[in-house]
Structure 1
Amino acid sequence: MDTNFDFNKTGKFDFDQVGKRMPYSTPEGFFKEMEANILEQVKDDKQVPVRRQLKKRPLMKVIWTAAMAVAASVAVLQVLNIDFMAPHSSLPSQADNEMQAVDQAFAQLSSADQAYLLNVYQEDVFLDE
């Protein structure tokens, strides 16, 4: 096998001259001998059965997981402020009570103070956002 490549006149490598030859060679019968050697080595090996063992969860781990799930649920209910004992919609809500308190306080102001507060409220640039 010829491993020397011809360079063109510029002294650069030319891929067109390489062709499709193998870059390595093996001795005659190498693969058959390798196969025979491998089969000789593994012929006495016995196949070991694979034992699958079911994983048993300890009771404390199951109880701990359930407790964490309940705690997470309670935390979500508190964060979202869901109250199942809340009064029905027929009763005035806390926001309505607060609004009534603000209306009563506004009504107790003098007319000049009321006009001033309304003027400030209308000129507030942050309320429009």
Structure 2
Amino acid sequence: MNIVRSLLLATLIPICGSAQAIDRDGAQLELAQATTSVQAAERDDAARYAPADLAEAHVMLDQALHAADDRAWMEVAIYSERAKVNGDLASARSRQQRAEAATAEIQRGLDALQAGTVNGDAP
């Protein structure tokens, strides 16, 4: 899990670092996207299925908000991008866990049906 996060952040650093200067509007756009990503993760029940990723997204979002208060636009963009990545990761892990649970439930149902037909209890 940590490897995935490290790889994602490693790809973001050059992207964020390549910007010569980021203006207020660009930073606020990044912040809005990060906020949306974190909110989506919360709606996807990431607190239950991916709490560490969601917590990290909240920490990064808080850092971005503090940087915005200081008008440090480059830091806003960097922390916002990190919050967005962690929020997206939390959402993806949450959806994966729910899909795996649904798949297991379907498999149990199929197994029960097959067990019934093997015993001659076919409808």
Higher relative contact order (CA 8 A, sep 6+): 2
Structure having the higher Rg? 1
Higher percent of residues as helix? 2
| TM-score normalised according to structure 2 size | 0.29
